Structure formats: structure tokens, C-alpha cells
Chains A and B, each alone.
Chain A
Amino acid sequence: MTTVAAPVGDAPGGTRARPARGSRRRPSRARWWVVLGFLSPFVIGFAVFVLYPVSATLYYSLTDFQAGSYRPVQFVGLRNYRALFSQSDTFWVAVRNTVWMVVVMVPLRTGWAMLTAWVIIRVKRGRAVYRTLFFLPSMVPVVAAALSFIVLLNPVGPLNRLLDLVGVSGPGWFADPAWSKPSLVLMALWASGNVMVIFSAAMLDVPRELYEAAELDGANALQKFRSITLPAISPVIFFALLTGMIYTFQYFTEAFVASSSANATSSSNDLIGYPGNSLLFYSTELYRQGFSYFKTGYASAMAWLLFLVIFAATVVFIRASRRFVHHAGGGR
């Protein structure tokens, strides 16, 4: 049982005692300037690189603004938002592909990281070596990783040649609409070392005595995993699923690189979504609308919709997590 010490100054009942009105000393003006001076790098950086661009996209999303156009910008209200749902076929293709990745890739990546962590902590000799080997791919830059997989999964690349040796005709991987998304999933599994490390730390943190008690009660390995390990690491599972979901909703680089490298003949605009729009994700469609079609207002509306969807999904997921996430001390 863990106990948390009450913060200094808290009232015994758990509510913080409010200081008497006027008893707090007002900081001097000079002190404010010192505080602001120390804060200014963050405040300026945040205002210029976050607050301003975010506010700008909100404004643009309500206009017909096109980057590079000298035509007067018209306020169009919610027209861009309505157009998302009513006009574009590719918008729905992008939504479907993105949801596919969230539903398939995120759980698989989490499960795979959990499995590798579970296996690695059971290795008696050379555990650190295996852990390093599994972790290393996650340190490879995304573009380099994607390019490596494109070489590896080339229709006449090393993997398919290996498959040929055993009499299996390999698929087209990134060049085949049916296999392009599974190829990206494979790449995500390969690079799941960072999640694996967190899982292995969480698994090693599970008190030994719980397993010993379960063994005395005759529990087998599966029962121990289900009843002890899983509840104990549920906060990590929640973390992996939540961050994975947020990342996958914004999935861009891997898809963009995979599409462009599998289609060496086309101009930059033709690369997006190749093959056959199977790698057209929400963020790549947003990029195309904004930087190939220059529809800045429309692309901004897409960005805001994505923000709202991720925000809503996060809130729902956090609320739903109360049912399956066990916190130390027995709470959920």
C-alpha cells in the first residue's frame, strides 16, 4: 500500500487552507520584470511558433485563402468544414485509411512491444544485449527507417528473394495497394523498441511476492500474466495506446516517404497516396490540399477538425481507461 504525504500547508480534511485575504505579499513590479525576463524565451517562442500559427489556421479555416494568391480573401464561415464532408471523395479515403491504422497498427504495436518486453525480461543471459538490439531501431530516423524498409520490401528485394527460395511468391509490399498498409505496420513493429523499454521497466516493477503468492495458489503462467502482470502494467498499456493513437491520427512521414520511393517516376504531387491512394492518410491529404492545391483555408479546416477529433478521442479514451487501468494502491 502506498501512501502519499499531504502537501505542506494542506488542511487535515484534504482541502487547502485559503490564506486570509490580503495576507499574501504582492510581488514588486521589479520582481515581475525579472520573472517575465526569465520566462520570455518560452513566452516569445510559444507566441510566435505555436499561438500565432494555431490562431492563424483558425482564421484561415473560415476563409477562402489560398497561399500565393493576391485575390482578396473572403470570409466564408463554415463552408470549408461543410466541404470536407460533402465534396471530397479523397477526404473519406484518407479518413478510412487513417482509422484503419489506428485500429490495426496501434494495438498491434502495443501488443508486440509488450510481448517482446515479456520475453526479454525472461532471458537469463544477455538480457541487456537483446534489449539494446530491440531498442535500437526506434532510434533510427523515420525517413531512414522508411527507406530501409522500401529496399527490404522491394518486390524484387531481399525479403521476396528469400521467400522465393522457399517457394513463396512474395507480395508487392509498398507497391501493392493491398499490402502497403500492412508493410507500414511491419515497420512500426520493428521500431517499437521505445515502447518495449517502458513495458519491460513496468514488468520488472511488479512485486515478486505477488507472483510467489499466485504460484502458491497454483496459478499457471497465463493466469499470472492475466491477473498480475496485466493489471500492474495497465497504466503503461494505457500510455502506449493513447500516445500511439494520437501519433497515428497524424501519421505522415512514413507514408509520404513510402509513397514517393515506391513511385520513382512522378512529380511530388503524384507521390501522395501511392499506390492507388492506399497510403493516403489524413495528414497526407491535408498536405496535398495545402501545398499541392494551395487551398490553405480548406487545409486549415482539416487541421482543426483533426485537432477536435484527437481531443475528443483522447477525452473518451481517458474516461474509458478508468475501467481497465489499475493504479498503484488499488485505485482505478
Chain B
Amino acid sequence: MFKSITGAAAVTAAGVLLLAGCTSTGPTSAEPDTAITPGASHKPATVTVWTFNHLPNEVAAFKSTLGRLHTKYPWLTVKFVPNKDDAAYAKAVAAGNPPDVFISSTPDNVAKFCYNGTVADLKPYLSSAGVDTAKTFPPATLVYTRYQSKQCALPLLTDAFALYYNKKTFDAAGLKPPRTLAELTAAAKKLTVKNTDGSIKTFGFVPRSDFDVNRYAFTGAHNGSDFYGKDGKTTFASDPKWQQLLKWDQDLIDYYGKANVQKFVGRYQPHADDAGNPLLTGAAAMEFDGEWHVGEIASEKKDFDYGVVPMPVLDGSSGTYGAGSTLGTVAYLSAGSQHKQEAFFALQQLTTDTTFLNTLADTVYNIPTTFAALKAWDKAKDPHWKPFVDIFQNPDSSYKTLTPAGVEDMDTWRAFLLEYEQGKVKDAAAGLAAVGKKIDSLNSESGQ
């Protein structure tokens, strides 16, 4: 009896130890947090780089740059692995075998990975390598690559969002691009065309938050509000401009009718980025979209006559016109990397190499993320690209402050927006206060 009890206890203890062992311990590294000197002789090293990119032209751009890097620094070999997302990265970290460098399309997780110690603070490496982030990267990129005082990622191309409009229909109606949301509503109504049976042939503008990238019009940049105040709490209850933004949204949806808007979203959501896009097909006169759409239009409908302007702002917030939400790809150095110095060197090359940044920007239709690359980028003066570059460089442009809640705060906000737009929230002020409280609570639980 005693023997079996002892055996069972030993098995249980071993199981618990095994389980506890799987909840990874902190990384240890013998290397100092300093950069290596480029060009210096170095013992051969292989660094693993994971990225979310997966399209053949994206992979080719990476491979070409990494090939050049290897030619210039023969001691450095990069094992490049495409098509890896944040979930795959977290699993690799949990398994104790993370890639040395990880390139992610979800900047929202920067603070979470930073807070959890998943990724390394790059400040000592940057300082040692003589990289001044303020002089290298536009300020908007630093908002979504930092958490508190830590530089937990570096930007690698970015997105900016603006209003696309059909020039022909604007000219025919004698309209100028709107600068305020009230002007946008007036233009949208004027440009709306109905069929003889009463159905809508052309929508002026569909604001519903779950359509295409409209969610980025609701982060505060266009109503002159901060998502989080200085105390780190949401401003939904304290800043009345959020209510005004919601009212603008609801009024325009009501103008078209919820059912018609639903039909539009259902019809065009799968075609937001292809030749069936509503702006290209004439189903919409304006749309809010990212800079990559310029490239898509060039390849799908080259002769389409359109203009791009900053997203209009709430009346009374005209001081912020020209700014917008900007966020983009981020590159991490894993805290668990066994070759941090070499990995940082590869990371530094990928995020600051002008030729690579501009080639990749041209490939994926994004904006380069260093001052030097922007200066050398031939598209920066193109009339369709320039508004995006200007928005990106506008000092008021930024993304919301990141928190250890990761993507959960934005998901909660978006779920609320959709409920409001569906008419499920009767009292906007109370709803805003409730969702603000919920997000604050999420942040508090996650360690904010």
C-alpha cells in the first residue's frame, strides 16, 4: 500500500514539475547587450528570421536582401522562414525555441510581448550601434514600437489611411474634397445615386466600422481625441468628441438605412482589395483605405481617375486635419535568442537598409520607415502616394498607445462600435462609459 502511494506521489510530483517546466523560465544569455561592429571579423553565425510575409514577391525581396547581406558579411547566414504569425511565434517561445528575429504585422502585440519579456529591449543595442531612433525613424513609428521606456521593436514599412474619392463624380457634382465630417456627410448625400426601384446604385460614403479598414477612422485621430488619456485610462466617458463621432457615424448609416448598408458591406467586403472594389466599380464615390490601395488600383484599373486626401475631421477639430492613424510592420529581437548580437545586426540591416526598405515598399505597396529611405523613395512625390507620406510624417499622426492587453482593447472597442451601429446601444454616453470601463479593466488585469 505504502509502495503504491509513494509511486503515485512520485508520478504526480514529476507531472507537476514537468508542467511547471513547460511554462518557460526567463531567457539567459552570456552575450552583453551591445551591438557588434559591422565589417569586423566575426565567427560564423546563423540567425533565424521569421516573418508573416508569404507572397512570392515579398519572399523574393527578403531573400535578395539577405543574399546581399551574406555577400557583404560572409560570416552571417540568415535562415529565412516566411508565413509565421504571432500565434506561431508565441508557441515557439513557449517551446523554448524562438526565432532570433520575428517580423510581425500586428503592432498591437508589441506592449504585450514587451511586458511579458518575450522580446528584448533594443535600446542598449541601438545605443551601442550608434542608431539614434529619433533621427532615423519618423515619430509615428515610435508610438507603435515602444512600451513605456522600452524600445521593443523596430518599424519595417508602415501603413497610413486616407480618403479616396472619384474625381469624375466630384467634378460632375461641382464638389471639392471634404475637410470635415459634416462636409463628408453633405458630399456623401449629394453623390448618392438611387436606382428607379429605390435601391441604392452609388453610395456616397459608407462609414460602418467593420467595412474594409474603417476601424482606423475610429481611433481618435479624426475627432481630435486620445484613445487613452495621460492617466492611461480610456477617454470615452470624459471626452464628448467620441459621442459626436458616433453620432456622425449613426446619422450617415441611418440616411442609407441599416439594411442597405448591411447589403453593401456584405457585397463588397470580400472585394475591398480587388477589381470588385466599390470605388472602382462605381458603387461608392468615396472610401477610407490604406496606401496599399494605390498600388492595387494601379494594377487593377490603371486609368481610374481618383484623388486622395486626408480623412476629414470632426467639426471643431480642424487643427488635426492632415493627421491620421499610422501603424505598420514591426520587427522583434527575441529575448530567448542565443545569438542576440548577430540577430540585432540582421534586424538593424533589415529595418534601416534603404535599398531593401524601398524595394519591399514597392513590392507590397507600403511606406518606407526611415527618413533616409523616404528621401530616396521615388514614389514620395507621386500625387497619389504623397498624401500618405504627408500623413505618415504629420507630427499629430499616431496609433493609440499600446498596452499589455495586446489586441484585446481594440477588439473590445470594435465590438462595441458594431453593436452601436446595429442599434443595440440605445444610450451612446452610457455605452461609451461602459466600454471604456471594460477596456480599463482589461488593461488593469493584463498588467498596465
The residues of A with any CB-CB pair to B shorter than 8 Å are 52, 55-56, 59-60, 63, 65-71, 73, 87, 89-90, 154-156, 172-173, 175-177, 261-265, 267-269, 274-277, 291-294, 296
A68 near B116: Cβ-Cβ < 8 Å: yes
Name the segment of B17-25, B64-72, B343-351, B376-384 touching the other chain.
Answer: B17-25
A67 near B105: Cβ-Cβ < 8 Å: no
Contact of B422 among A268, A276, A294 (CB under 8 A): A276
A67 near B422: Cβ-Cβ < 8 Å: no
- Smallest CB-CB separation from A71: which chain B residue? B116
- In the assembled complex, which residues on chain A have CB atoms less than 8 Å from the CB atom of B212? 265
Interface residues of B in 1-57 (CB under 8 A from A): 15-16, 18-20, 22-27
A55 to B20 Cα, complex, angstroms? 12
Name the segment of B147-155, B160-168, B267-275 touching the other chain.
Answer: B267-275
Q: What are 19 sample pairs from A and B whose C-beta atoms fall under 8 A apart?
A: A66-B116, A67-B90, A68-B91, A68-B93, A69-B116, A69-B117, A70-B27, A70-B117, A70-B118, A89-B438, A155-B263, A175-B270, A263-B269, A263-B270, A264-B270, A276-B210, A292-B86, A292-B406, A293-B407
- In the assembled complex, which residues on chain A have CB atoms less than 8 Å from the CB atom of B225? none
A70 to B29 Cα, complex, angstroms? 14
- In the assembled complex, which residues on chain A have CB atoms less than 8 Å from the CB atom of B394? none
In the A-B complex, list the 4 residue pairs whose CB atoms are closest, starting with the nearest. A175-B266, A68-B90, A172-B266, A69-B116
B269 near A262: Cβ-Cβ < 8 Å: yes
- In the assembled complex, which residues on chain A have CB atoms less than 8 Å from the CB atom of B23? 60, 63, 65, 73
The interface size of chain B toward A, counting residues with CB under 8 Å, comes to: 53
- Smallest CB-CB separation from A64: which chain B residue? B445
Instruction: List 17 other contacts, CB 8 Å, given A70-B335, A264-B272.
Output: A55-B15, A59-B19, A60-B23, A67-B94, A68-B89, A68-B94, A69-B116, A70-B336, A71-B115, A172-B267, A175-B265, A175-B266, A176-B262, A267-B106, A269-B106, A276-B418, A293-B407
Question: Residue B441 at the A interface, CB < 8 A?
Answer: yes
A173 to B269 Cα, complex, angstroms? 13
A155 near B266: Cβ-Cβ < 8 Å: yes
A175 near B273: Cβ-Cβ < 8 Å: no
A69 to B116 Cα, complex, angstroms? 5
A296 to B19 Cα, complex, angstroms? 13
- In the assembled complex, which residues on chain B have CB atoms less than 8 Å from the CB atom of A267? 105-106
A87 to B90 Cα, complex, angstroms? 24
The residues of B with any CB-CB pair to A shorter than 8 Å are 15-16, 18-20, 22-27, 85-87, 89-91, 93-94, 105-106, 112-113, 115-118, 210, 212-213, 262-263, 265-267, 269-274, 335-336, 405-408, 411, 415, 418, 422, 438, 441
A65 to B422 Cα, complex, angstroms? 36
A155 to B407 Cα, complex, angstroms? 30
- In the assembled complex, which residues on chain B have CB atoms less than 8 Å from the CB atom of A65? 23
Chain A nearest Cβ from B350, distance in angstroms: 21
- In the assembled complex, which residues on chain B have CB atoms less than 8 Å from the CB atom of A268? 85, 87
Chain B nearest Cβ from A225, distance in angstroms: 41
A121 to B265 Cα, complex, angstroms? 45
- In the assembled complex, which residues on chain B have CB atoms less than 8 Å from the CB atom of A66? 116
A225 to B188 Cα, complex, angstroms? 61
B263 near A294: Cβ-Cβ < 8 Å: no
- In the assembled complex, which residues on chain B have CB atoms less than 8 Å from the CB atom of A263? 269-270
Chain B nearest Cβ from A291, distance in angstroms: 4
- In the assembled complex, which residues on chain A have CB atoms less than 8 Å from the CB atom of B210? 274-276
Chain A nearest Cβ from B435, distance in angstroms: 10
Chain B nearest Cβ from A293, distance in angstroms: 5
A268 to B24 Cα, complex, angstroms? 26
Chain B nearest Cβ from A162, distance in angstroms: 17
- In the assembled complex, which residues on chain A have CB atoms less than 8 Å from the CB atom of B262? 172, 176-177
Contact of B267 among A63, A67, A156, A296 (CB under 8 A): A156
B270 near A154: Cβ-Cβ < 8 Å: yes
B22 near A56: Cβ-Cβ < 8 Å: yes
B407 near A292: Cβ-Cβ < 8 Å: yes
Chain B nearest Cβ from A258, distance in angstroms: 12
- Smallest CB-CB separation from A288: which chain B residue? B411
